[in-house]
Amino acid sequence: MNDTNATPLLSVKNLVVEFNTRHGPVRAVDNISFDVYPNETVGIVGESGCGKTVTGLTLLRLIPMPPGRIVQGSINFRGKDITRLSEKEMQAMRGADISMIFQEPMTALNPVFTVGNQMVDVIRRHKNLTRSQARTQAIDMLDKVGIPAPRKRIDEYPHQLSGGMRQRVMIAMALSCDPKLLVADEPTTALDVTTQAQVMEQIVKLQDEFHMSMILVTHDLGVVAESCDRAIVMYCGNIIETAPIEELFEHPRHPYTKGLLESIPRLREQKMKQLPIIPGMVPDLLHLPPGCRFADRCSRMTDRCNQEKPLLEPVEGSGDRSVACYHPFA
């Protein structure tokens, strides 16, 4: 869990990421700051286009540049600023210090190499091991992520595995060099619910075993509720609320967070006539309003919201909660 006295493992400050498009530059991530502490799981949630995936990719400098670029800000990881590292230093860091798993395991794995080949490559890149030593370690990792008959599976190709198995292989690969931080981008979204349950359970177990921190990027608030310590809610490139998980779900402050929580279809005792909704839709990133980006969908909107953009500020008397809203819920 999060110990506020500890030094953060990762510290993002005023990060801005832009993409050049035909219609002009778009700020996918607009001035965000957050910390991740050792052994902590932080969820970054929001809907499509809110900037959560770009945030995750930027932490490993995996956004394509160009058209993307880091305009300003710093990403501090164990004393190094990731935004300033050379590509070579970055390569040494990826996989070894910070690892990532992606939504679609079929596209993230190379279809023409066996699972073993790909894993051995990753391991030998960061560790001084022979092929056979690396292979032994790969089998060991496959076993840890719950792949039955790892000795047989290691010589199979990705297409021979089911979706859940492929995602396990991705996890095994990501953890094979003992990273301190795992960025998991929608790791279970492509999977069926029963498989999702298996895979999430495995991830949480391994996180404990490997003493690593995790950033879980997802649109699924259910997954966040079950596996995170703290959540960051993003909307239109901004962080609009952060809070420890229980407080966020019990007393959401930002009207968007509240609306999002209410509109999830969930199993209920009684069928509802109407699901609560958030009216309207997300504004176009090319034509953002000058004030609060959620204003035109918000029930608490006032003139001030349309004129001045609210900044993310700590909520008084509540330790580690922040919200970017002039009229937050109590």
Partner 1 sequence: MSELLKVIDLKKYFPVRGGLLRRVVAQVKAVDGVSFSLERGRTLGLVGESGCGKSTLGRAVLRLHEPTAGQIFLDGEELTRLGREQLTARRRKMQIIFQDPYASLSPRRTVAQTIQEPLDVHGIGTSRERQKQVEELLDVVGLRKQVLSRYPHEFSGGQRQRIGIARALALNPEFIVADEPVSALDVSVQSQVLNLIARLQREHDISFLFISHDLAVIQHVSDDVGVMYLGQLVEFASAGSLYHEPRHPYTRALMSAIPVPDPKKKSKRIILGGDVPSPMDPPSGCPFHTRCPEVMPVCREIIPPRVNMGTASSPHFVNCHLFTEESAEDGAGAPAGNSAGTSGQ
Residues that bind partner 1 (CB under 8 A): 47-48, 162, 164-165, 192-198, 200-201, 219-226, 245-246, 249-250, 259-261, 263-268, 271-279, 281-282
Strands (E), the chain: 10-21, 24-36, 41-45, 68-77, 80-81, 98-101, 181-185, 213-218, 230-235, 238-244, 313-314, 322-323
130-131-137 Cα angle (round to 5) = 90
Q: How far is the CB of 85 from partner 1 (least distance, A)?
A: 34
Query: Least distance from C-beta 159 to partner 1, angstroms?
Result: 14
Q: How far is the CB of 273 from partner 1 (least distance, A)?
A: 8
Q: Which is nearer to partner 1, 75 or 171 (CB)?
A: 171
Separation CA 290–CA 128 (nearest Å): 54
Phi, psi of 91 (to 5 degrees): -65, -35
Minimum CB distance to partner 1 smaller for 264 or for 311: 264
317 class by beta-carbon count within 10 Å (0-12 exposed, 13-18 middle, 19+ buried): exposed
Q: What is the spatial distance between Cα 259 and Cα 306, in angstroms, rounded to a whole number? A: 19
Shortest CB 55 distance to partner 1, Å: 17
Q: Which is nearer to partner 1, 93 or 223 (CB)?
A: 223
- CB nearer to partner 1: pick between 104 and 226: 226
Q: How far is the CB of 247 from partner 1 (least distance, A)?
A: 9
- Compare residues 70 and 234 and give the one whose CB is closer to partner 1: 234
Taking the least distance from each CB to partner 1, the nearer of 123 and 233 is 233
Cα four-point dihedral sign 305, 309, 311, 312? positive
Give least dist CB 283 to partner 1, A. 11
